[in-house]
A and B are shown apart, each in its own frame.
Chain A
Amino acid sequence: LAKTTQPISMDSYEGQEVNITCSHNNIATNDYITWYQQFPSQGPRFIIQGYKTKVTNEVASLFIPADRKSSTLSLPRVSLSDTAVYYCLVIGGFKTIFGAGTRLFVKA
């Protein structure tokens, strides 16, 4: 199972773009990269998933280089409500492994 490494915490200001990078050196051919967001006392919420290149949805973009050994979650124009923990996961098979996540704190 591919282990992920991401920064423990990040600070940002409202209106800025935030990029959180995750490394997953041992990713397997069939694995997908998925990001979740979690607020205190709530379950994680799916943000975005990708396999390679770039994926964009209404809340975020996901950039994956050709070697797939890392990925970057991009949050455009963050607001105070984006303060949360963000998890990068590599999913292949039944066992989805969460790391410690990145605590993003958005300041006014």
Chain B
Amino acid sequence: ETGVTQSPTHLIKTRGQQVTLRCSSQSGHNTVSWYQQALGQGPQFIFQYYREEENGRGNFPPRFSGLQFPNYSSELNVNALELDDSALYLCASSSKEVGEKLFFGSGTQLSVL
């Protein structure tokens, strides 16, 4: 158990819809990173939030957006869903004070039909 929880665990949406995924970070961690993992591939970095500010972004379009709250929990929002957005979305929390090790949740499996 990493202490990182994600909700929901599974989600089915249709093309064009919007989705919000949630993540509660491990106690004491101030950084949250989001990853997209397609079937059979490694996780792809979407973005990272540090103390409520976006701290870096991967090669994802603007329709992927996020928030981090004062308690360091986070949301990933995806607008105008496309079929290729079907994937496992992973949240990882970390803290610079404990060596940048990433602690992952179990993910949200998103299916876009």
Contact = CB atoms under 8 A, between A and B. Distances in A.
Interface in A9-56: 32, 34, 36, 41-46, 49
A99 interface: yes
B104 interface: yes
Interface residues of A, number: 21
Interface in A52-108: 87, 91, 93-101
A46 B93 CA distance: 12
B102 A44 contact: yes
A32 B94 CA distance: 15
Interface of B: 2, 4, 33, 35, 41-45, 48, 50, 55-56, 58, 88, 90-92, 99-107, 109
Interface of A: 32, 34, 36, 41-46, 49, 87, 91, 93-101
